[in-house]
Structure 1
Amino acid sequence: MEISLVHEYTRELIATGVLGILLIILRIISTKLVRRYAKSNQTLEHRTNLVIKYIHLFIHILVIVALIIIWGVQTKDIFIALSSITTVVGVAMFAQWSILSNITSGIILFFSFPFKIGDVIKIHDKDFPIEAEIEDIGAFHVFLKTIDGEKIIYPNNLLLQKGISVLKNHFENREFVD
């Protein structure tokens, strides 16, 4: 009985094994590439780890889809399941669009940010202009500190929407108060 099952599913078992090896290789390569990029841009470790987690999640989703195809789940059933999952996730995430927007903005800022921790920036907002030093850049927010010592937590998605000036050595001769 066991031997016939192995013979019956040999191709699927081999393909699953190859996919498992490919998963490990993709995780290693993506981690090394992101770390190399982060090191060349002097990015903080926790930001690097966050981006690596996002990439690994994406790779795992692709592997799950590949496993579903390898094991011969009917295309019609895949579409029904995916449309149901997408509908539920879409409705749940629609209410949380700002979270997704901030995560996406955090990833964009990681790979192509025009400023770094320690830079003094001016956010051109007509209602609430801010001039502050960047203390940290997180997944959802940028942590700023003004010349008066005020700490401001600013959403990542707004940084991509507003005009920003990077000020050179602006706070250097001023004393910060903790």
Structure 2
Amino acid sequence: MFTFKEYSQEIFATVILLISLIALRIIVANLIRSYAKTSQLIEHRTNLVIKYTHILMNILVTVCLIVIWGVETKDIFITVSSIATVIGVAMFAQWSILSNITSGMILFFSFPFKIGDTIKIHDKDFPLEAEIEDISTFHVNLRTKEGEKIIFPNNLLLQKGISIMPAKYEDREFYD
């Protein structure tokens, strides 16, 4: 039968770990938001990065909980390596998904363009000039002058040459 004294160290360590996770999630989210404000990044993209960092922290805490509750370290490594192998094989077949997610993160942190910018994609087979409507994890939504909506994968944006077109202002006379 379960007794508190028998598992008091594990319970105490679990409580400390969970409190630390909550505090760390709040601190990391605030740091990412403050970076986003200073860099004038879009809230939608900021929330995606926060979501990904929280997932990573949850995975690390799960591994720590497994260690705290006495699972053998060699068993953890065997399980993790087996899972990583299966995911690696599956993702190799779906490398474009990983490529688009990675490209989305690179676009988030380097931020060469923003929503509302008009860009020109230099592609010999399919040159394109369009305005950026949205930037998501996997793709960028573009709208051409003709009103055509184009969904362009993030990894292709990093592979192709891109020009950010200057904003077009109407020439008007100024009256004082």
TM-score, normalised by the number of residues in structure 1: 0.87
> Any idea what the Cα deviations from partners look like across 1:112-143, whole Å, max 9, x if unmatched?
11111111111122221211111110111111
Q: Does 1:80 align with 2:94?
A: no
Match of 2:119 in 1: 121
- 1:101 is paired with a residue whose SS is helix
Supply the distance in 1 between the matched residues of 2:153 and 2:160 (Cα, whole angstroms). 11
Match of 1:147 in 2: 145
Alignment-mate amino acid for residue 67 of structure 1: L
- 2:164 is paired with a residue whose SS is strand
**Which of 30, 38, 41 is the matching residue for 1:40?**
38
**Which of 117, 122, 130 is the matching residue for 2:128?**
130
> Any idea what the Cα deviations from partners look like across 1:134-167, whole Å, max 9, x if unmatched?
1110111111112222221110011111121111
Match of 2:174 in 1: none
RMSD value over aligned CA atoms?
A: 1.7
- 1:122 is paired with a residue whose SS is strand
Alignment-mate amino acid for residue 34 of structure 1: I
- 2:137 is paired with a residue whose SS is coil
Q: Does 1:108 align with 2:109?
A: no
Shifted more, 91-100 versus 42-51: the winner is 42-51
Shift of 1:54: 0.8
- 2:134 is paired with a residue whose SS is strand
Match of 1:91 in 2: 89
Match of 1:176 in 2: none
Supply the distance in 2 between the matched residues of 1:141 and 1:53 (Cα, whole angstroms). 17
Alignment-mate amino acid for residue 133 of structure 2: E
Supply the distance in 2 between the matched residues of 1:143 and 1:34 (Cα, whole angstroms). 24
**Which of 49, 52, 59 is the matching residue for 2:50?**
52
Q: Does 1:167 align with 2:165?
A: yes
TM-score, normalised by the number of residues in structure 2: 0.88
Supply the distance in 1 between the matched residues of 2:20 and 2:158 (Cα, whole angstroms). 35
Shift of 1:104: 1.5
**Which of 8, 20, 23 is the matching residue for 1:22?**
20
- 1:6 is paired with a residue whose SS is coil
Question: How many residues are aligned here?
Answer: 170
Supply the distance in 1 between the matched residues of 2:71 and 2:8 (Cα, whole angstroms). 16
Alignment-mate amino acid for residue 143 of structure 1: N
Supply the distance in 2 between the matched residues of 1:160 and 1:30 (Cα, whole angstroms). 27
Alignment-mate amino acid for residue 123 of structure 2: D
